[in-house]
Amino acid sequence: MTFNIAGARAAVANPEDVVRTAAKWGSSHGAEMCLLDAQSVFGRDHLESAVLHAIRARDSRTMSSRSVAMETLLYAAGARQVQDALRAVGLRRDTTTIGVVLFGPAGVDDFLRDMEWTRDDRVLEAEGKSLRDFGISDRKAASVLEAQRADLVLEKVALLDVDK
């Protein structure tokens, strides 16, 4: 399964409308999307790890959800429940940076252009972001170097398989 990852800048007034519009675009282009608030993304590795875990869950028939995109959202959040994942990494009314995972043959740049979003992969970088959405306290986060904080998120992604 092919996938592309990108970061984007855009104002989200209504998350449900954005997700619906993206799904409609995906449907007409043979693609599926996972959209995340980039404030909750701790580097490209974070999204790649979530995608690879989701694909492995699909291949081993252990997915908790009906689609690889939704399974990716669960792994990205390190959550077992969709509601918890949406709360942790989903789009919000104040979202201005978006992490995009596009599954399928369609081009991610075409999607961003059609959505009228500006591509900016820097929004995926971990620097300066809080780990609270992942249930990692400020105290625990302070126990590791800033450069290693993304590793705590990758660990949480991997541990979801243990919790299943």
pLDDT one digit per residue (tens) for the chain, 164 residues: 899 999 999 999 999 999 999 999 999 999 999 999 999 999 999 999 999 999 999 999 999 999 999 999 999 999 999 999 999 999 999 999 999 999 999 999 999 999 999 999 999 998 878 787 777 788 887 888 877 777 778 777 777 766 65
Burial (CB count within 10 angstroms: exposed 0-12, middle 13-18, buried 19+), residue 19: middle
The sheet carrying 97-103 orders its strands as: 32-37, 97-103, 3-9, 118-119
* Domain extents in the chain: 3-163
Global pTM? Answer: 0.88
Q: What is the DSSP string of the chain?
A: --EEEEEEE---S-HHHHHHHHHHHHHHHT-EEEEEEGGG---HHHHHHHHHHHHHHHHTT--SSSSHHHHHHHHHHT-SSHHHHHHHHS--TT--EEEEEEESSS-HHHHHHHHTPEE-GGGG--TT--SGGGT--HHHHHTS-GGGHHHHHHHHHHHHHHH-
Residue 162: per-residue pLDDT: 63
Name the CATH superfamily for 3-163.
CGI121/TPRKB (3.30.2380.10)
